[in-house]
Amino acid sequence: MLSTGTRLRSWILAIGLCVGVAACGTPAPTSSSAATKGPLTIGISVSLTGDFSNTGKAAQLGYQLWASQVNAKGGVLGRQVQLTFADDASSPTQVVTNYQNFISRDNVDLVFGPYSSLLTLAAAKVANRYGYAFVEGAGNGPSVFAAHLPNLIDAGPATAINGAQVWGDYILSLPADQRPKTAAYPSLDDPFSQPAAAALQARFEAAGIKTVYSQIYPAETTSLGGVIAKVASTNPDMVVSGSQDADGWAQVQAMIQQKFNPQFLFMTNGPENPVDFPKNVGAQNTQGIFTSDVWTYNAPIPGNTAFVQAYIAKFGGDPSQIDSTSAQTYAVGQLIEAVAAKTGKIDNATIIATLHQGSYQTVVGVVSVDQYGAPKGSQFLEEWIGGTLTIVYPPNIAEHAPVIPKPVWP
Amino acid sequence: MHLFIQAIILGVLTGGLYALMTSGLTLTFGTMRIINMAQGVFVVCGAYIGFTLFNYLHIDPFLSILVSTPLLFAIGFTLQTFLLKPLRHDAHRLSLLMTWAMAIGLEGILSFIFGTDFRGILTTYQNSSWTIAGYEIPVVRALAFLLSVAILVGMYLLLTRTKFGRSVRAVSQRESAAKLLGVNTDRTAALAFGLGAATAGAAGAMFGLVSSFDPASHYDLIGRLLAICVIGGLGSNAGAIAGAVILALSESLVQAELSPAWSSVPFYVLLIIVLIARPQGLFGVRARGAI
């Protein structure tokens, strides 16, 4: 039998443990404005290894550039920004662990998003559970916004799907006699590309452009010769390819090999990469190919030139080699600065409330999101003209008028 | 009809390359009874060797086979000697895990060196095609097909007309008897594994020409190669060729005539039928020594 003193000590210990566990398990989101004058700590999971490592590193560079610039200016509301990175190995399991550690173990003030929609969705749910704002620049797939997370804000001008609608805007702006009459839609089975192509198909069909081919090919398809042979046999005026990088290159190569040349060729992804696309299809074969994009190094967006110059000064290299992911993560930091400037506070609740209203200028354009953090805007249309990726639509930011029809392959 | 014949042309050309990739897998199984899960990553290594030589030394990918083949042979020989040979007392069970570990390890090394972005090799003749009777024959695929056939013929001659080939066939038929007759079975196994990797090295340089790739491409490749092996008959070179052509032809035809979403289905349905009706594969035999 336990003595009264021993029992009392046991009760005190048990209560103490319960309080301790509760305190560790559900930390209140930090109210940074009131809390401290110390550094503003921000936890970010990045894919430094694994499948997303190349782009994950680009995401890290954007965050680092923003932090160095804002710290040189005196920090956010006088607080130096202190970034803490953790490698998630491109794993949705590890990314959850990383954000739980940032929030419940490290008690960071804020968290920023990782790279890819896959990891963003998993991570944003963790942040939401703890009441943390989740501002991210590289996760705008439909699954992210379908989760209806109130803490999420995507720091881009458009979602992955709506972005491609600029091609629809342009085609339907053409006089009826210049519009394509028939269209083919070969699309990769991918959560970004295929829905984007399908949305365009629905819009074009409603406008009277007849669909002559619409098929989805699996991601593991290594040869697209059969697909393009079928597309060529239907002889469409326009091809809208729901593509990503590698299959986009394969589509172009197969079109050239089979001497099939549509009058209009729009690809959701692939041609927007100014380095890899010409390297893989041949610079001479790029002429007249359209794509949509959220950012390029020469886009006439306020602050973009300064961003590019600062990036080159800090990391070196060539402007054309800057990954758009770096600009998108840099924009995340710009949004935080905007909140601080607008409200004089930088806590999670203020960030969530502020960014869900109004619009904010960033290096990737004007950011304005709906209640679930999905951007409301559109991307811009680019065309390869004379070996250069050129903004051609909308007219207010176009560097050159669109060149149509597409010339024959050289 | 035009589309049908065009799809057959593309399918046959692709099938030749798959046959070369699979022949190494068949050889390894025939001699060592090992299913080499690293064959796919050996192909990817060959692709990266072709990519590196082309981009930095401007060596044509078809010529880079002269480098990738001996290099992959050396890698295969070394891996067999140091990692697989010690397992031979329980090779059937453990080799599957060991070769899979090799695949993961080599993928990691490739990711470290080259990153994880997709790569492609763009030669001056990459997008060229010959028009014959109204049909387009992509130059790259045609050359890859012809070279694959030439290497497969060379492999056949090596296995049937040389002392090494006799050793391989002896080991594949009955290892203990081969040992009694003076065949150095350990050395033969290492050479055969190296040769299997070498075929992947040759095929890889051409694979990099016809398809973009990244370090993780081997997952899809090994799935296809194993399926080809099983449908053709594990250990049968003729079966490897037949299985590869059936796979590529069915994919190309279904892609063009029906839907790309269903392109893999006919082959895998046939695979299930073969496994039920003729488990040894179309060209396989129940006894050892199909090679």
Output the pLDDT for position A36. 54
Nearest CA distance, B15 vs chain A (angstrom):
11
Q: Number of CB pairs < 8 Å for A and B?
A: 117
Q: Which residues contact B284 (CB under 8 A, 6 or more apart)?
A: B232, B233, B234, B235, B236, B239, B278, B290
The neighbouring-strand residues paired with A289 are: A265
Using an 8 Å Cβ cutoff, are B207 and B48 in contact?
Answer: no
Distance CA B261, CA A136 (A): 33
Alpha-carbon distances of A242 from A6, A17, A191, A199, rounded to whole Å: 71, 55, 10, 10
Q: Which residues contact A128 (CB under 8 A, 6 or more apart)?
A: A134, A149, A150, A151, A152
With an 8 Å Cβ cutoff, are A282 and B131 in contact? no
**A256's tokens:** 């050239």
Percent of chain A exceeding pLDDT 70 equals: 91
Distance CA A334, CA B228 (A): 53
Contacting residues of A for B141, CB less than 8 Å apart: 225
Asked whether this complex has an ipTM greater than 0.85, the answer is: no
Residue B133 falls inside a structural domain: yes
Instruction: Report pLDDT digits (tens) over A301-322.
Output: 999 999 999 999 999 988 988 9
B96 exposure class (CB count in 10 Å sphere: 0-12, 13-18, 19+): middle
The closest CB to that of A218, out of B7, B122, B261, belongs to: B261
Residue B246 falls inside a structural domain: no
Output the pLDDT for position B285. 63
Residue B62 falls inside a structural domain: yes
Q: Does A346 or B126 have the greater pLDDT score?
A: A346
Banded pLDDT at A9 (limits 50, 70, 90): low
Tell me what the mean pLDDT of segment A222-227 comes to: 84
List, in order of start, the domains of chain A with CATH numbers: 32-158+301-367 (3.40.50.2300), 162-293+380-397 (3.40.50.2300)
**A380's tokens:** 């811009």
Asked whether the predicted pLDDT for residue A13 surpasses 90, the reply is: no
The closest CB to that of A257, out of B136, B216, B255, belongs to: B136
- Among candidate residues A314, A264, A269, A319, the one with its CA nearest the CA of residue A294: A269
Residue B233 falls inside a structural domain: no
The closest CB to that of B127, out of A50, A226, A257, belongs to: A257
Residue B284 falls inside a structural domain: no
b/e for A285-311, b at 16 or more Cβ within 10 A? bbbbbbbbbbbbbbbebeebeebbebb
Banded pLDDT at A10 (limits 50, 70, 90): low
Distance CA A191, CA A171 (A): 24
Distance CA B131, CA B135 (A): 5
**Phi-psi bin for A81: left (phi > 0), alpha (psi -120 to 50), beta?**
beta
Instruction: Report pLDDT digits (tens) over A173-203.
Output: 999 999 999 999 999 888 788 888 999 999 9
Nearest CA distance, B133 vs chain A (angstrom):
13
Angle CA A104–A110–A111, to nearest 5: 80
Instruction: Report pLDDT digits (tens) over A351-389.
Output: 999 999 999 999 999 999 999 999 988 889 999 999 989
Residue B228 falls inside a structural domain: no
Within a 10 A sphere around the Cβ of B289, how many other Cβ atoms? Answer: 13
Contacting residues of A for B259, CB less than 8 Å apart: 215
- Among candidate residues A54, A48, A47, the one with its CA nearest the CA of residue A275: A54
Contacting residues of B for A276, CB less than 8 Å apart: 117-118
Residue B153 falls inside a structural domain: yes
With an 8 Å Cβ cutoff, are B260 and A246 in contact? no
Output the pLDDT for position B101. 94
Range of the domain at B12: 2-216
Distance CA B272, CA B279 (A): 9
Which of B 7-66 lie inside 8 A of A, CB atoms?
7, 10-11, 14
8-state DSSP, B132: E
Instruction: Report pLDDT digits (tens) over B109-146.
Output: 999 899 888 898 989 888 888 999 888 899 999 999 99
CA-based nearest residue in chain A for residue B218: A220
Q: Which residues contact A201 (CB under 8 A, 6 or more apart)?
A: A183, A185, A211, A214, A240
Asked whether the predicted pLDDT for residue A8 surpasses 50, the reply is: no
Q: Is residue B128 within 8 angstroms of chain A, CB to CB?
A: yes
Q: Is residue B143 within 8 angstroms of chain A, CB to CB?
A: no
State which amino acid sits at residue B200. A
The closest CB to that of B127, out of A215, A216, A256, belongs to: A256
| CA distance from start to end of chain A | 95
Distance CA A154, CA A112 (A): 11
- Among candidate residues B214, B43, B282, the one with its CA nearest the CA of residue A220: B214
Testing the interface with A: which of B54, B224, B255 to mutate, by most A Cβ within 10 A?
B255
CA-based nearest residue in chain A for residue B120: A280
State which amino acid sits at residue B273. I
Distance CA A207, CA A170 (A): 13
With an 8 Å Cβ cutoff, are B120 and A279 in contact? yes
With an 8 Å Cβ cutoff, are A223 and B6 in contact? no
Contacting residues of A for B3, CB less than 8 Å apart: 229-230, 233
Which of B 233-252 lie inside 8 A of A, CB atoms?
248, 251-252
Nearest CA distance, A105 vs chain B (angstrom):
31
Q: Is residue B162 within 8 angstroms of chain A, CB to CB?
A: no
Using an 8 Å Cβ cutoff, are A260 and A228 in contact?
Answer: yes
Instruction: Report pLDDT digits (tens) over A54-104.
Output: 788 999 999 999 999 999 999 999 999 999 999 998 899 999 999 999 999
Nearest CA distance, B259 vs chain A (angstrom):
7
Alpha helices in chain B (DSSP H): 2-32, 39-57, 61-79, 91-114, 139-161, 163-173, 175-180, 185-210, 217-232, 237-257, 265-277
Give the residue ranges of chain B where pLDDT is below 70: 88, 285-291
Contacting residues of B for A52, CB less than 8 Å apart: 116
Tell me what the mean pLDDT of segment A115-121 comes to: 90
SS3 assignment for chain A? CCCHHHHHHHHHHHHHHHHHHHHHHCCCCCCHHHHCCCCEEEEEEECCCCCCHHHHHHHHHHHHHHHHHHHHCCCECCECEEEEEEECCCCHHHHHHHHHHHHHHCCCCEEECCCCHHHHHHHHHHHHHCCCCEEECCCCCHHHHHCCCCCEEECCCCCCCHHHHHHHHHHHHCCHHHCCCEEEEEEECCCCHHHHHHHHHHHHHHCCCEEEEEEEECCCCCCCHHHHHHHHHHCCCEEEEECCHHHHHHHHHHHHHCCCCCCEEEECCCCCCCCHHHHHHCHHHCCCEEEEECCCCCCCCCCHHHHHHHHHHHHCCCHHHCCHHHHHHHHHHHHHHHHHHHHCCCCHHHHHHHHCCCCEEECCEEECECCCCCECCCCEEEEEECCEEEEEECHHHCCCCCCCCCCCCC
Output the pLDDT for position B204. 94
| Torsion A173-A179-A181-A182 (CA) sign | negative
Q: Which residues contact A40 (CB under 8 A, 6 or more apart)?
A: A32, A75, A76, A77, A79, A80, A81, A82, A109, A110, A346
Q: Is residue B122 within 8 angstroms of chain A, CB to CB?
A: yes
Q: How many domains does chain B have?
A: 1
Provide the greatest CA pair distance for chain B. Answer: 60
Nearest CA distance, A262 vs chain B (angstrom):
17
Output the pLDDT for position A32. 45
**Phi-psi bin for A78: left (phi > 0), alpha (psi -120 to 50), beta?**
left
| Torsion A156-A157-A161-A164 (CA) sign | negative
The closest CB to that of A249, out of B212, B216, B252, belongs to: B212
Interface of A with B (CB under 8 A): 49-54, 186, 189, 215-218, 220-227, 229-230, 233, 245-246, 249-250, 253, 256-259, 276, 279-282, 285, 409
Output the pLDDT for position A16. 47
Residue B128 falls inside a structural domain: yes
Q: Does A377 or A336 have the greater pLDDT score?
A: A336
Output the pLDDT for position A163. 82
Contacting residues of B for A51, CB less than 8 Å apart: 116, 216
